[in-house]
Structure 1
């Protein structure tokens, strides 16, 4: 999929199965027949197959054909393979007379072109796979994105048979590995283990989630000719958060001329009670590394010296007459500082005592800029859920599974067991942007689409990483307000700039963590290193100008 500099391509779509069917129907309504879309899909699959196996001539290829459109894609692909000098064999699970529509027509064309067919039968709990001329390559066209599990016994047996053949062979799945849920990325309970997966028209939400990687292999998204008018006019519930979304931040031309420190905003961080000063330091450090012009940390007076931690660039404000505690109200001096700031982060190292709770109450009543609520601030909100009514649409909440469980009155295990459901509940609880952290971080606001980050980064699984993310998001809110407004306004749904800031911050943070794997492949890195890597990641981001991409694995 090619990407331009326009915002529409900053977030590649991840339509749910019913939404991709609406795309197909919209294309047909404009006069593009299903048979043509199937032909286009087969051609694109053939291109990807050649990239993985350029010497296809003479190779035996088994193509498993199901009863739906994926089966039609497979039988059409067999014709391309035959013309390229390969030896395809279509193994179909239904009699040829039972196939309908475009699949049946492509089956007829392939048969007339000389493609051989073999009907699979399930008897005595076994499939009658051919015993002669075993394949060099396997194409999985059994079940499409509309599949909902669990697999029936016969389908499960066939998936097991394919996986038994797979070791040492290239396996390509069409649109999605058979047996994998397109929404959750979970096997039901098993899926074809593919070397690569070719997604047609767009990626699928489940395939963007990192736990699907053991089934999908590399994921290639290919255009099959569905018009932009159709795609823009149809609802899409998911979008991908990868390096493409950072393109506007990575262009030196995007930095304003004749700028000075206030051009890039002033971020205020409220956190770092005695004993937890490092959390506030990490958030402040990340905000500076993300590009904020000014960073101030306000904290109880006893914590100020350790928050700086040798960084004179971090300004501090000792809250008046507090010692180790938070004040119960917002002083005139602090109120003036809040009013002058562009963004605010509250929570890193704040503590969860009664003094912190009273201070949070006071802050929620004050006039304030867009605010990132993280760590202890989220815990304090969970103690008094009615306070979530004070969260505004420009605010961002960044819970990890444990904090999400506290906000919902559930366990972290329950949140992880169904992250989609947990995100639904979190978004219903407040009108702010919710960032549900973890492998495959998900970002959403109210009933809008979900932004999915495809990365799973072991280097980020260390205390302090969340503080870096909070500072990163706050730093973007402070320093890139103009870019955020411009690109959020161009997205195909009503989007507050804070949502885009949160999404960009998640992707930038994940890629910074990934970059540390070069030096620390087995972990051992610190969150400080993650923060310091942020500007280097932006420097190396390049827009992908090729007509396809494989999601990073």
Structure 2
């Protein structure tokens, strides 16, 4: 069986984040292209986008349905906005692939999924984006649950691929009962990595992380308050921002999960164990990156 290693301070000390040298400009800190949201779920992208920047990425482009793009741009004024065609149900239309075709090769990380629904049309959109061969790809939420493991394996053979499912999303992705994942998360995670070649964070009260040729990392440093809507959107943004800065996917996931958990604990100590909001995690990220 694959070795299981505790994700703790000793592991982080042995796997530090890349330094950002004095005088480095925004172009050197990486660009994230964030695709997601819908007419009735625009806020998820705001959480992810701000987390990208809080994690130290230099540039952010946010692409969502044109009906809410302007409002989202006001919520995250540091980002450049891209309006995308919309389906009748308010989700991003397949024609968005053509709009994004010139932007994908220019980014360092393509992050897809926050605020998107898992439908067959979303699956077709993901297929189209995979064909654009981004430098690195992170699939979250609806974008990962409607992807085909075989297609993911094909993509992972040519680019770094990161998946961030919770138990229900992973069960949908691989076609099993969620209880099977709860009963044996490490083995199920190892199986998904073997089948897809992706770097995976299996989220939950305890988080399990693995990738091709890596040990399985086991993280237990979260808190109950992180089980709230938008929390996963923040985590995806932290990981995407760290990859854009030049961190390897495996180390970026590990640090992202660690920072996310520590931000939850810190926010809980200031506000309360239960009831803090996902957006209240965001200001904690920069100081934790320096002191954690």
Instruction: For 1:242 and 1:521, locate their aligned partners in 2 and report how far apart those are by CA, in whole Å.
Output: 24
Matching residue of 1:512: 263
Q: Provide closer, same or farther for how the CA distance between residues 371 and 331 of structure 1 changes in structure 2, counting only shifts above 3 A.
A: closer
Matching residue of 2:274: 523
Matching residue of 1:532: 283
Q: Provide closer, same or farther for how the CA distance between residues 408 and 336 of structure 1 changes in structure 2, counting only shifts above 3 A.
A: same
Aligned-pair RMSD on alpha carbons?
Answer: 2.2
| 8 A contact 1:329–1:362 mirrored in 2 | no
What is the aligned counterpart of 2:175 among 406, 409, 415? 409
Matching residue of 2:66: 301
Deviation at 1:474, TM superposition (A): 0.3
Matching residue of 2:139: 373
Matched, 1:351 2:144: no
Matching residue of 2:37: 272
Matching residue of 2:5: 239
Higher RCO (CA < 8 A, seq sep 6+): 2
Instruction: For 1:424 and 1:245, locate their aligned partners in 2 and report how far apart those are by CA, in whole Å.
Output: 20
SS in 1 for 2:260: helix
Matching residue of 2:102: 336
Instruction: For 2:233 and 2:91, locate their aligned partners in 1 and report how far apart those are by CA, in whole Å.
Output: 20
Q: How do 1:54-93 and structure 2 match up within 5 A?
A: none
Unaligned 5+ residue runs, structure 1?
Answer: 1-15, 17-235, 485-496, 542-553
Instruction: For 2:109 and 2:82, locate their aligned partners in 1 and report how far apart those are by CA, in whole Å.
Output: 16
Q: Provide closer, same or farther for how the CA distance between residues 311 and 530 of structure 1 changes in structure 2, counting only shifts above 3 A.
A: same
Deviation at 1:463, TM superposition (A): 0.9
**Larger-gyration structure (1/2):** 1
Matched, 1:363 2:129: yes
Q: Provide closer, same or farther for how the CA distance between residues 508 and 280 of structure 1 changes in structure 2, counting only shifts above 3 A.
A: same
Instruction: For 1:311 and 1:385, locate their aligned partners in 2 and report how far apart those are by CA, in whole Å.
Output: 33
Matching residue of 1:282: 47
Instruction: For 1:472 and 1:500, locate their aligned partners in 2 and report how far apart those are by CA, in whole Å.
Output: 12
| 8 A contact 2:145–2:170 mirrored in 1 | no
SS in 2 for 1:391: helix
Deviations 1:211-234 (A, max 9, x none): xxxxxxxxxxxxxxxxxxxxxxxx
Instruction: For 1:299 and 1:380, locate their aligned partners in 2 and report how far apart those are by CA, in whole Å.
Output: 18
Instruction: For 2:26 and 2:11, locate their aligned partners in 1 and report how far apart those are by CA, in whole Å.
Output: 25
What is the aligned counterpart of 1:451 among 204, 217, 227? 217
Matching residue of 1:434: 200
Deviations 1:412-442 (A, max 9, x none): 2221111122112211220010111112211
Q: Provide closer, same or farther for how the CA distance between residues 458 and 364 of structure 1 changes in structure 2, counting only shifts above 3 A.
A: same
Unaligned 5+ residue runs, structure 2?
Answer: none
Instruction: For 1:346 and 1:274, locate their aligned partners in 2 and report how far apart those are by CA, in whole Å.
Output: 16
Q: How do 1:488-499 and structure 2 match up within 5 A?
A: 497-499=248-250
How many residue pairs are counted as aligned between the two chains?
287
Deviations 1:319-359 (A, max 9, x none): 25768342324555522211111111101012233432221
Matching residue of 1:255: 20
Matched, 1:386 2:150: yes
Deviation at 1:277, TM superposition (A): 1.0
Instruction: For 2:167 and 2:225, locate their aligned partners in 1 and report how far apart those are by CA, in whole Å.
Output: 18
Deviation at 1:444, TM superposition (A): 0.6
Instruction: For 2:179 and 2:96, locate their aligned partners in 1 and report how far apart those are by CA, in whole Å.
Output: 37
Deviation at 1:240, TM superposition (A): 2.6
Q: How do 1:100-249 and structure 2 match up within 5 A?
A: 237-246=3-12, 248-249=16-17
| 8 A contact 2:86–2:92 mirrored in 1 | no
Matched, 1:313 2:78: yes
Instruction: For 2:24 and 2:110, locate their aligned partners in 1 and report how far apart those are by CA, in whole Å.
Output: 22
Instruction: For 1:421 and 1:321, locate their aligned partners in 2 and report how far apart those are by CA, in whole Å.
Output: 39
SS in 1 for 2:197: coil
SS in 1 for 2:93: coil
| 8 A contact 2:84–2:99 mirrored in 1 | no
Deviant stretches of 4+, over 6 Å: none
Deviations 1:256-277 (A, max 9, x none): 1322111111101110111111
TM-score, normalising length from structure 2?
0.90
Deviation at 1:373, TM superposition (A): 0.7
